[in-house]
């Protein structure tokens, strides 16, 4: 046993003895009150940098993650000892079993296990299950670092040649950082190459730009005198050819990776620093060598990569992209092929973490990536695939170098540091932020807590000890759990038609199937996902699935002391109506509701409600309990849509009233539509 592990185990044993409470005791403080102002203030800090507040939960891409501080605050209200209910006090949920039946990014699991609870996470999509296993399983960082170093060295040895270039001054061969590609288009006059803009890099004393006629890259404002090059470069603002009057069109009849041509190579020379250069003869030879190998790469059946019709993948099909293989350059495919092959030599936590690292790197390593590094504050920054929570088709595509030995945006060296090393360091010594009277924040260490645990594979193992986790991949309408055995259900359900997580996740899932073929059953049917394809005045897949999940939650939740808490917001009255009907059919009543800040003001991942900045925190109990709601839910006659916080509070109050009413499903839908009129007094949506 390593000294690091011994210290951790001794610390946990001491922590257990210091804070040992009976499993039969319960706190339901959240029924009466919640530290809204405190949580709201912390959330406003975290929402801008969630990955810095909770680095161990950000191993792999997932969408619409909620603030970890909000969920810690929620869980703290169930701590028995009032002193340990303090946000900055360690632990407090020892002896409790916490379930998240729609775990997604795993926020609930990480927050609850830190507080000493045993946790259960379930999801219909396999990616959340694998990510939770990788991030919650305790393993020494030194072990992961050794595995990464070995893996990276082998990968670099095999494919680095294809990602190299020459310094524009001394011609020394170095690792390229990026290659920029322009989008081929045509009109009656012939072919052009369209890019975002001619400026490639803005520095304090100069601006690097590419010239339309010659494709030369200079820092001069004087047009170069070199030879003209065809086709001509144009910017995205040029929609129509001035000569023939025809709108420029994309080459939709050729593979997507052939629709781009390289226009610039970016690298860093150890002697001359950052440079931009036009692709040279050796650069083109490397690209051609990779292209020649493309058809020889064997990923198995290409049927595994077929793009199926979906709310987001339909954008790919609309661009005549029918295979996920097609959105990667030949060099990027060589990278994936070699990574899959090399991973066969690894086992256990090392293999799991490396595979997830490769998978999440794809968001920064495909031809759907754009270039936003022209501005001096963002040198070399990548516009990653899901920057807009949808597929983006750039004019200037950025081809990253994943095996660049120097850390840069989106490559393996930087991703290992940020997603694994930083996460593991935080997990063994988690910290929180405290806001001082002057508005500044300070870091507060939480002694004794650990963001991780031991995986178990049956419910019986959860009734003893602490910080154990069980992961269930499957439909949460049918959980392999005992009746009324769960203390708390804390979750963040999909937001109706807002974020098509599972459809977008196919981008990663098709590769994880090959990276980790035996880790989980990668079969996935989006029809079982709790999300509406589009808003509707009738029952949708959202209500069908969410009703079943809520009924199952009612079955497994402890009857008298159990609580189900989740966050929700949506502008569409249909979303609130279906949520109401689902909860009502499952026999839940609203004990209390709160509102906290949850969204960056310009967040784009909630369609049609980008101005709602708050979440409703809904505290629910099963009907027939001896305890009654501290709130007297009265009929709501109107909902103010001009203010985000007020909107969430009034929607929560309406939910409480409807759950206690005798209204039918049709009446509930009608009344929600009359309450939310889609316009506020000022004619705008909530701000």
Residue 596, pLDDT score: 96
Q: Which of 115-119, 149-153, 440-444, 535-539 has the lowest mean pLDDT?
A: 535-539
Q: Which of 248-262, 330-344, 430-444, 662-676 has the lowest mean pLDDT?
A: 430-444
Q: What are phi and psi of 179, to 5 degrees?
A: -125, 130
Q: What are phi and psi of 644, to 5 degrees?
A: -60, -50
Residue 458, pLDDT score: 97
Q: Which two tokens stand for residue 360?
A: 């999440």
Q: Which two tokens stand for residue 119?
A: 């946790």
| Percent above pLDDT 70 for the chain | 90
What are the contacts of 422-430 at 24+ separation with CB within 8 A?
422/55, 423/55, 423/56, 423/57, 423/58, 423/59, 423/135, 424/56, 424/139, 424/141, 424/144, 425/141, 426/54, 426/55, 426/56, 426/451, 427/56, 427/135, 427/451, 427/452, 428/8, 428/452, 430/114
**Cβ neighbours of residue 651 closer than 8 Å, sequence gap 6 or more:** 569, 576, 616, 639, 676
Burial of 617 (0-12, 13-18, 19+ CB in 10 A): buried
DSSP state of 20: -
- Helix H or strand E segment including 567: strand 563-568
Residue 259 to residue 666: CA distance in whole angstroms = 50
- Which one, of 280, 355, 306, 322, lies nearest residue 517 by Cα? 355
Cα dist from 365 to 62, 176, 354, whole Å: 17, 14, 16
Residue 7 has pLDDT above 90, yes or no: no
- Which one, of 311, 375, 373, lies nearest residue 383 by Cα? 373
Output the pTM of the full model.
Answer: 0.92
Sheet strands (E) in 58-134: 97-100, 118-123
| Percent above pLDDT 90 for the chain | 77
Helical pair 281-294 and 330-343, crossing angle rounded to 10 deg: 60
pLDDT in tens, 257-296: 999 999 999 999 999 999 999 999 999 999 999 999 998 9
Handedness of CA 605, 606, 608, 614 (dihedral sign): negative
Q: Are 235 and 229 in contact (CB under 8 A)?
A: no
Sheet strands (E) in 370-416: 370-371, 382-383, 396-400
Residue 129 to residue 126: CA distance in whole angstroms = 5
- Which one, of 104, 98, 145, 73, lies nearest residue 466 by Cα? 98
Mean pLDDT of 326-346: 98
Residue 224 to residue 218: CA distance in whole angstroms = 8
Handedness of CA 605, 607, 609, 611 (dihedral sign): positive
Residue 412 to residue 601: CA distance in whole angstroms = 31
Mean pLDDT of 28-46: 94
Residue 254, pLDDT score: 97
Residue 473 to residue 185: CA distance in whole angstroms = 44
**Cβ neighbours of residue 245 closer than 8 Å, sequence gap 6 or more:** none
β-strand partners of 323 = 306
Q: Is 3 helix (H, G, I), strand (E, B) or coil?
A: helix
pLDDT in tens, 627-662: 778 888 999 999 998 899 999 999 999 999 999 999
Residue 368 has pLDDT above 50, yes or no: yes
pLDDT in tens, 568-610: 988 889 999 999 999 999 999 999 999 999 876 544 444 344 4
Distance of CA 208 to the CA centre of its chain: 34
The mean pLDDT value of the chain amounts to 90
The torsion region of residue 532 among left (phi > 0), alpha (psi -120 to 50) and beta comes to beta
Domain ranges of the chain: 1-16+29-74+84-138+424-436+445-477, 158-331+362-410, 493-497+532-687
Cα dist from 34 to 77, 94, 246, whole Å: 7, 21, 61
Residue 108, pLDDT score: 98
β-strand partners of 183 = 194, 260
β-strand partners of 233 = 193
DSSP state of 530: S
In our burial notation (b when 16+ CB lie closer than 10 A, e otherwise), range 132-168 reads: bbbbbbbbebeebbebbeebbeebbebbeebbbbbbb
pLDDT in tens, 196-251: 999 999 888 889 999 999 999 999 888 887 788 999 999 999 999 999 999 999 99
Residue 677 to residue 185: CA distance in whole angstroms = 44
For 161-210, the three-class secondary structure string (H helix, E strand, C coil) is: HHHEEECCCCCCEEEEEEEEEEEEEEECCEEEEEECCCEEEECCCCEEEE
Q: Are 653 and 595 in contact (CB under 8 A)?
A: no
**Cβ neighbours of residue 203 closer than 8 Å, sequence gap 6 or more:** 376
- The strands making up 454-455's β-sheet, listed across from edge to edge, are 454-455, 468-473, 118-123, 97-100, 488-491, 563-568, 614-622, 588-597
Q: Is 223 helix (H, G, I), strand (E, B) or coil?
A: coil
Q: What separation, in Å, do the N-terminal and C-terminal C-alpha atoms of the chain show? A: 55
Q: Which two tokens stand for residue 169?
A: 């001054």
* DSSP string for 138-153: ---HHHHHHHHHHHHH
Sheet strands (E) in 408-555: 431-435, 441-445, 454-455, 468-473, 488-491
Cα dist from 635 to 5, 284, 618, 657, 663, whole Å: 57, 70, 18, 6, 12
- Helix H or strand E segment including 646: helix 644-660
Residue 562 to residue 573: CA distance in whole angstroms = 29
Q: What are the residue ranges of helices labelled H in 305-440?
A: 314-318, 330-343, 348-361, 412-415, 422-428
Burial of 544 (0-12, 13-18, 19+ CB in 10 A): middle
């Amino acid at each position: 046993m390593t000294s690091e592990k011994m210290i951790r185990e001794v610390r946990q044993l001491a922590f257990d003895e210091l804070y040992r409470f009976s499993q039969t005791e319960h706190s339901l403080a959240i029924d009466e009150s919640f530290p809204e102002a405190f949580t709201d203030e912390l959330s406003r800090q975290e929402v801008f940098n969630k990955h810095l507040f909770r680095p161990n939960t950000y191993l792999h891409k997932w969408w619409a993650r909620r603030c970890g501080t909000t969920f810690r605050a929620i869980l703290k209200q169930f701590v028995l000892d009032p002193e340990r209910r303090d946000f900055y006090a360690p632990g407090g949920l020892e002896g409790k079993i916490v379930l998240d039946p729609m775990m997604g990014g795993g926020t609930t699991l990480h927050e609850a296990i830190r507080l000493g609870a045993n946790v259960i996470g379930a999801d219909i999509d396999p990616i959340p299950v694998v990510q939770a296993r990788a991030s919650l399983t305790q393993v020494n960082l030194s072990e992961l670092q050794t595995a990464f170093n070995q893996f990276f060295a082998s990968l670099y040895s095999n494919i680095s040649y294809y990602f190299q270039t020459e310094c524009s001054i001394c011609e020394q061969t170095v690792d390229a950082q990026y290659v920029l590609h322009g989008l081929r288009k045509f009109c009656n006059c012939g072919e052009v190459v369209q890019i975002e803009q001619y400026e490639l890099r803005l520095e304090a004393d100069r601006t690097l730009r590419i010239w339309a006629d010659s494709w030369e890259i200079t820092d001069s404002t004087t047009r170069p005198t070199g030879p003209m090059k065809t086709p001509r470069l144009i910017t995205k603002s040029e929609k129509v050819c001035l000569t023939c009057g025809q709108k420029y069109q994309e080459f939709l009849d050729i593979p997507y990776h052939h629709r781009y041509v390289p226009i610039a190579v970016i690298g860093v020379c150890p002697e001359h620093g950052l440079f931009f250069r036009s692709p040279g003869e050796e650069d083109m030879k490397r690209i051609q060598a990779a292209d020649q190998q493309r058809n020889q790469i064997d990923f198995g059946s290409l049927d595994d990569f077929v793009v199926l019709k979906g709310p987001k993948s339909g954008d790919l099909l609309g661009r005549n992209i029918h295979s996920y293989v097609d959105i990667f350059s030949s060099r990027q495919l060589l990278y994936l092929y070699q990574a899959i092959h090399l991973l066969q030599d690894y086992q256990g936590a090392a293999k799991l973490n490396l595979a997830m690292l490769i998978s999440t790197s794809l968001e920064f390593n495909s031809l759907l990536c754009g270039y936003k590094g022209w501005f001096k504050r963002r040198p070399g920054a990548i516009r990653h695939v899901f920057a807009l929570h949808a597929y983006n088709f750039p004019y200037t595509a950025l081809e990253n170098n994943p095996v660049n030995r120097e850390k840069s945006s989106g490559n393996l060296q930087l991703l290992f540091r940020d997603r694994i090393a930083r996460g593991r360091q935080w997990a063994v010594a988690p910290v929180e932020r405290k806001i001082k009277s002057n508005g500044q924040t300070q870091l507060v260490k939480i002694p004794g807590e650990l963001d991780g645990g031991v995986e178990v594979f049956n419910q019986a193992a959860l009734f003893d000890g602490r910080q154990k986790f069980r992961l269930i991949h499957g439909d949460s309408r049918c959980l392999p759990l005992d009746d009324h055995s769960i203390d708390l259900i804390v979750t963040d359900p999909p937001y109706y038609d807002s974020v098509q997580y599972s459809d977008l996740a196919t981008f990663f899932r098709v590769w994880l199937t090959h990276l980790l073929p035996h880790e989980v059953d990668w079969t996935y049917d989006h029809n079982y996902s709790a999300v509406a394809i589009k808003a509707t005045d009738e029952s949708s897949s959202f209500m069908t699935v969410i009703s079943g999940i809520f009924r199952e939650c009612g079955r497994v939740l402890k009857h008298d002391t159990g609580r189900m808490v989740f966050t929700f917001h949506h502008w569409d009255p249909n979303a609130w109506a279906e949520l109401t009907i689902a909860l009502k059919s499952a026999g839940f009543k609203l004990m209390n509701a709160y509102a906290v800040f949850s969204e960056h003001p310009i967040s784009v991942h909630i369609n049609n409600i980008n101005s709602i900045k708050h979440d409703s925190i809904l505290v629910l109990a099963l009907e027939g309990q001896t305890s009654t709601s501290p709130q007297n839910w009265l009929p709501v006659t109107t909902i103010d849509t001009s203010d985000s916080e007020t909107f969430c509070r009034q929607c929560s109050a309406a939910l409480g009233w409807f759950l206690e009413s005798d209204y039918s499903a049709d009446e509930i839908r009608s009344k929600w539509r009359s309450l939310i009129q889609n316009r506020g007094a000022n004619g705008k949506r909530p701000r």
